[in-house]
Amino acid sequence: MRTIGLEEHFVTPELEGYGAGTATVAQPGRWAEASRRLLDLTGERLEAMDAAGLDVQVLSLNSPGIQAEPDLGVAVSRAAAVNDLLAATIEAHPSRFAGFAALPLQDPQAAAKELERSVTQLGLRGALVNAHTHGRYLDDPALRVVWEHAEGLDVPLYLHPANGVDAAHVLSGHPELIGPMWSWGTDTASHALRLVFGGVFDDFPGAKLLLGHMGEGLPYVLWRLDSRWGFHNHHGIELHRGLPSAYLRHNLYITTSGVCSAPPLQCALAALGPDHVLFGTDYPFEEMDVATEFLRTAPIDEGDRAKIAHTNAERLLKL
Ligand code: ZN
């Protein structure tokens, strides 16, 4: 069965330093090994893909990537350079790789232009955004231009976690809860809900948002979101679609990245529908062969398995 992974990270020597903050939430030895594998684009990576039966990796720059750059001009030029490198890598291995662009969101107009260039000239399939950009989230009015372009080009934006601006008070004294194990998920789910209540999907009904990690917990809470929205909304916000879950069922697509467990997959399929669940591994932070084995053996409908493995990605990314 053709298998396409949507959350497959890499980094370049020039951009590796942006990950210094991310390294602080990992075991040093494990981080060193992941860093080594992030820097390899076509060697060990292709061997691991072959061994795992992963036909295509949709590559993305590792978190936080360009968004950590403080200088606007440097962010713009480095995003263009890494997207060019990504396109060249894909061109050399067109049957094995596709890519999500990195965007210099520090400069919204430049980010929108880079998205357009990446899709129309480089053949990339959308963009991957790593959480906030110096505290600015994707519902910010200044970033509507990026959504306008994404909708116009009919490409998804993949919202991936990164270290937050600060940690919630409830996590004080518990650094073990800060990072991918816990806080990145709640941060990213919160960011996605900012898009719903911030009107992004009312302004751009055709926008497509991808979330990794089995939807960062959101598929599990649709009913409660709707119920409590009806009871507690007194902020003057109107949702054109009426209920929060309507946006999560319409605009949201999720990947299985970093989650190899059947109950959350079955929940995601039931909550969002089988056309909105796609495969991903979160390489090199998870192993490709573990993820593909999970995909092949999970107790789900065979038609749904094919949708998750490849047909949803082929449709959404025009692969
Ligand atoms: Zn990831």
Which 3 state secondary structure label does DSSP give 130? Answer: strand
Q: Give residue 108 CA to ligand 1 midpoint distance, Å.
A: 23
pLDDT digits (tens, 9 = 90+) for 127-141: 999 999 999 999 999
pLDDT tens-digit map of 228-272: 999 999 899 999 999 999 999 999 999 999 999 999 999 999 999
How many CA atoms does the CB half-sphere of 105 hold within 13 Å? 29
Q: What integer is the mean pLDDT of 62-89? A: 98
Angstrom distance (rounded) from CA 265 to CA 261? 7
- Confidence band of 198 (pLDDT split at 50, 70, 90): very high
Percent of the chain with pLDDT over 90: 97
Ion ligand 1: residues, Cβ under 5 Å = 7, 282
Give the model confidence (pLDDT) of 110-129 as tens digits: 999 999 999 999 999 999 99
- pLDDT score, position 74: 98
Nearest Cα neighbor of 149 from 115, 200, 98, 122 is 115
| Domains recognised in the chain with CATH numbers | 4-317 (3.20.20.140)
CA of 232 relative to ligand 1 center, distance in Å: 34
Q: What is the mean pLDDT of residues 292-305?
A: 98
Task: Count other C-beta atoms under 10 Å from residue 54's C-beta.
Answer: 26
Ligand 1 center from residue 229 Cα (angstroms): 30
Would you state the torsion angle of the CA atoms of residues 291, 182, 221, 154, taken in this order, to the nearest 10 degrees?
Answer: -60
**pLDDT (tens digit per residue) in 18-56:** 999 899 989 999 999 999 999 999 999 999 999 999 999
DSSP state of 15: T
> What is the secondary structure of 61-127 as a DSSP string?
EPTTGGGG---HHHHHHHHHHHHHHHHHHHHHSTTTEEE-B---TTSHHHHHHHHHHHHHTT----E
Two tokens, residue 76: 């713009």
| Band of residue 287 on the pLDDT scale cut at 50, 70, 90 | very high
pLDDT of 192: 98
Q: What are the residue numbers of the active site?
A: 282
- Predicted confidence at residue 142, as pLDDT, reads 98
CA distance 145 to 124: 19
Q: Identify the H or E element spanning 8.
A: strand 4-10
All residues at 6 or more sequence positions from 46 whose CB lies less than 8 Å from its CB, including other chains:
93, 96
Q: What is the pLDDT of residue 73?
A: 98
Instruction: Report the separation in Å between the CA atom of 230 and the middle of ligand 1, taken as the mean of its atom positions.
Output: 34
Average pLDDT, stretch 48-68?
A: 98
The average confidence (pLDDT) of the chain is: 97
- pLDDT at site 196: 98
Instruction: Calculate mean pLDDT across residues 177-189.
Output: 97
